[in-house]
Structure 1
């Protein structure tokens, strides 16, 4: 961020609704935040938690903490108070920076854990009747629709957020015009005054009923006037918490070396991020995909990120048109939604370049979970834009392998390992040693290189089980072909054993989504007295299917039976309106197992 602000101070770094922040303004805001955090006792090695939506406050807070040598602990905004308190307590977070709209869960969590609370953004009416304004957090009170969204399960990776109306550059307010800090990135931020625009610093007060306001304090603070605190390569930069599919979430320690090496490498390939690129930032910034692959590579390249607080397919299409986005990063459910929205819009944009002088979306990247080949092919046919599918994990900072421009794409694979990283296939049943397998054999994907985490925070036993002989055991089953392309077969724990045969759910799902009535499919193994496990397909029908019935279920079973081996096809079909998703877009199969694992026989 500091380097890009020095190289391109007047270039637009961030677009949030009608607002634009230059690199100079964004970095100046981060330095003002850093100045406040330092006066509140934050220094090298301290842990600062961020419970923030996708607003300009997130990068300002993120880089403010890093500039002080502190460790950032991003928190999933969908968590409830007890879950947040666990993350704060386990990480040893000294401070929580909480969006005002998230105080309902964040404030009690901070109280329980003993973390100092600073409030970011939002708006509130003070006890004395004066309205206290903080731009950029979408307002303190949610409307009914938003309140319902917040209470839903983890159904959308970017649930419960919406675009900001105005953005505060701490130290002043601005309208739609861009702000550049004169005299370089460490100078005071000059505000471009607009008639009728109110300066919130006149009413902002450092304290309110909930606690201190970071924006109010930053409005009167001088930017940090010294270089960012140097840190060693193996010092922890970020602690990212896993989704906790096998118990309590684990804190993944990502070092400065992990962070910088992954950003520097992937910026060049696969993401090919250039200064004139415009990235549609619809992934949650608290998650490693949006934070490191998106925000990190974009800002390192000096490019522009168009930030959206809540993903909707129609909104994304409109942003692509309006902001002439060139890069899209998303999870498979987003690509499915974009296809469905495009089908409803006869005037949908072709995203291939109609004129050489007009920027357009010329590449898209998918991660987080498996992208069905059908979706990839339909998206490329509809939009004229290639999708590059890749693979990564929180523990690998995150990128491991990607389809890249340097060699032919192979749909259905996740490409080849990124530079400086090895990804191989090892025997999955050899728990305490690594035995590599030859090409063509299915086994556990193991990874080594600059991207592998330092370990799990305060969990040496889990770290020792995950990192064996210098290799990180992913828990994913995969296969490499003779040309070095990696394919992810499935999660090791999701594999179904039916009558002694191994069944990989992803293979069955890939078949199911080609059925004309199927929009999404998730395959799970349910307990079965005769076969050990029975195969169940959980189906989201396509929009034109008004009422799925037993006849459709039977047709899906019959159709699938004709296309895959007899031991693989589903004997039971269940219909749902939507699949439960985690923040990375992965289907939460544990919830499907809990819902449908009732012992009923199949069809």
Structure 2
């Protein structure tokens, strides 16, 4: 028997007075988070939530998220974290697809009316019986909705945690939906516990030493594992920033003496572009014990630039929602290799396969990355056919194309579905993006395939220029032609001021097509 909430409970017992969550001037100790989570658990049980029931949550990176996350787990229920950018139609889909019986939703703001969208979605959800509005001010009274603070007010601050099976579902993480209808990956208590401890081992974390700056959304697998689960397991202090802003992040890295920072590649790009003469990069670098990037490929130019400015090498990691998420890391003490996602985590196996699940052999050969280990999901919620398509004999096929070098280090080449086939030749967008970003005038690039009547697809690049850079489309195309094989270089380039991004900071290529 097991419950993932042990990550909070153990730290609350060993370090009750240590700051767990910091948001501005507000601080919650581990004891306070534990007491609040117990109140949430008591509330849910009082409202009829039973072990195995699904409870959905829409909440940004605020202290309320860990409280309700662990409260739901304590009750033996399954957490269904939802992207706060979803609209009512999309939320209703997730509520109905997961079969959620209760929904806890942050009120939002006029710019992002999460609460209004959530309430409208709740009204369309057949199995969902209770709606609780999470308010920024606990004393606030919301018109027409029951606030979580009011509902918790009379609940006890102790709770006998429900013990469930290690392989029972703990969290259902919905895939981003960028390549189709979102599916819920069922992750067990063991999946997430093992992944948290594998991350701790891989990062060399020790109890009561780290201060995290949390800029990743906790509803996403990356932030949930390396910040929330691994952070709480080691009694780290989590300094929360609900909305990423590069200038603010740089100030907070200095002010709070941050020792651990995790972000997606576009965040590192933004930090480098926000540096000023006043930024104390030496102080940031002295305190920053580990920096990690995942979520999408980290261009080597950005990794090198960050190390040059801060003296800290960025650890590149790889994972997916379906793998809890961690799959591979750059090992501690090892010299990172540009573009590599490192070696498999403890307890995890990786290999390359073809379309027929046959193993692809040979250093440098390209195949689809497959994963087996404690991190692989139970399956897609209520979708046995979709599960069977991606899982066989314990192996999960990721949809990512990769290669392996002579030492066993893995490199992501591209997404299978992003692969461009131009005149019968395979073109990998990531490779083109990395080459383009070596040009002095290019700050960021995203490459896609667009229809072509004769070739099938043509290569098109969307490019953000560096501030003050002057270059024309023909000039950049001509330069790219000199750097790449004839079938690879982009014949079409569009200069843009920004790229569409998902809530987790990945370029949303679907919106570019």
**Distance in 2 of aligned mates of 1:100 and 1:353:** 34
Which whole-Å deviations, capped at 9, do the CAs of 1:513-538 have from their partners, x for residues lacking one? 11111111011111111222111111
**Distance in 2 of aligned mates of 1:121 and 1:271:** 35
Correspondence for 1:321 among 243, 248, 254? 254
Could you tell me whether the CA contact under 8 Å between 1:34 and 1:67 is conserved in 2? yes
**Distance in 2 of aligned mates of 1:466 and 1:69:** 28
Alignment match, 2:3? none
Alignment match, 1:563? 483
Which whole-Å deviations, capped at 9, do the CAs of 1:536-561 have from their partners, x for residues lacking one? 1111111224xx6xx61111111111
SS in 1 for 2:506: coil
Q: Is the aligned partner of 1:71 residue 2:78? A: yes
Residue 351 (structure 1) shift = 4.3
Correspondence for 2:119 among 107, 113, 116? 107
Could you tell me whether the CA contact under 8 Å between 1:426 and 1:436 is conserved in 2? yes
SS in 2 for 1:562: helix
Alignment match, 1:211? 145
**Distance in 1 of aligned mates of 2:333 and 2:349:** 17
**Distance in 2 of aligned mates of 1:6 and 1:281:** 23
Which whole-Å deviations, capped at 9, do the CAs of 1:255-292 have from their partners, x for residues lacking one? 11101110111111136354211011000011101111
**Distance in 1 of aligned mates of 2:507 and 2:134:** 32
Correspondence for 1:416 among 337, 340, 343? 343
Q: Is the aligned partner of 1:448 residue 2:372? A: yes
**Distance in 2 of aligned mates of 1:476 and 1:449:** 17
Could you tell me whether the CA contact under 8 Å between 1:273 and 1:298 is conserved in 2? no
Residue 353 (structure 1) shift = 7.4
Give 4+ residue runs of structure 1 displaced > 6 Å after superposition.
none
**Distance in 1 of aligned mates of 2:57 and 2:221:** 14
**Distance in 1 of aligned mates of 2:426 and 2:236:** 46
Could you tell me whether the CA contact under 8 Å between 1:57 and 1:120 is conserved in 2? no
Residue 212 (structure 1) shift = 1.6
**Distance in 1 of aligned mates of 2:17 and 2:488:** 58
SS in 2 for 1:409: coil
Aligned length in residues: 500
Could you tell me whether the CA contact under 8 Å between 2:204 and 2:332 is conserved in 1? no
**Distance in 1 of aligned mates of 2:188 and 2:171:** 7
The alignment's TM-score, normalised by the length of structure 1, stands at: 0.81
Could you tell me whether the CA contact under 8 Å between 1:536 and 1:573 is conserved in 2? yes
5+ long unaligned stretches in structure 2 = 1-7, 109-113
Residue 217 (structure 1) shift = 2.3
Q: Kindly tell me: are residues 236 and 261 of structure 1, through their superposed partners in 2, closer, same or farther at Cα, counting changes over 3 Å?
A: same
**Distance in 1 of aligned mates of 2:507 and 2:430:** 12
**Distance in 2 of aligned mates of 1:118 and 1:331:** 32
Could you tell me whether the CA contact under 8 Å between 1:281 and 1:329 is conserved in 2? yes
SS in 2 for 1:112: coil
**Distance in 1 of aligned mates of 2:381 and 2:118:** 22
Q: Kindly tell me: are residues 574 and 273 of structure 1, through their superposed partners in 2, closer, same or farther at Cα, counting changes over 3 Å?
A: farther
The alignment's TM-score, normalised by the length of structure 2, stands at: 0.94
Alignment match, 1:275? 208
Alignment match, 1:387? 314
Correspondence for 1:14 among 21, 32, 35? 21
Equivalent residues in 2 for 1:187-266, closer than 5 Å: 200=139, 209-226=143-160, 228-266=161-199
Could you tell me whether the CA contact under 8 Å between 2:390 and 2:397 is conserved in 1? yes
Q: Is the aligned partner of 1:472 residue 2:367? A: no
Which whole-Å deviations, capped at 9, do the CAs of 1:378-402 have from their partners, x for residues lacking one? 1111112210011100000001111
**Distance in 1 of aligned mates of 2:27 and 2:269:** 29
SS in 1 for 2:426: strand
Could you tell me whether the CA contact under 8 Å between 1:494 and 1:505 is conserved in 2? yes
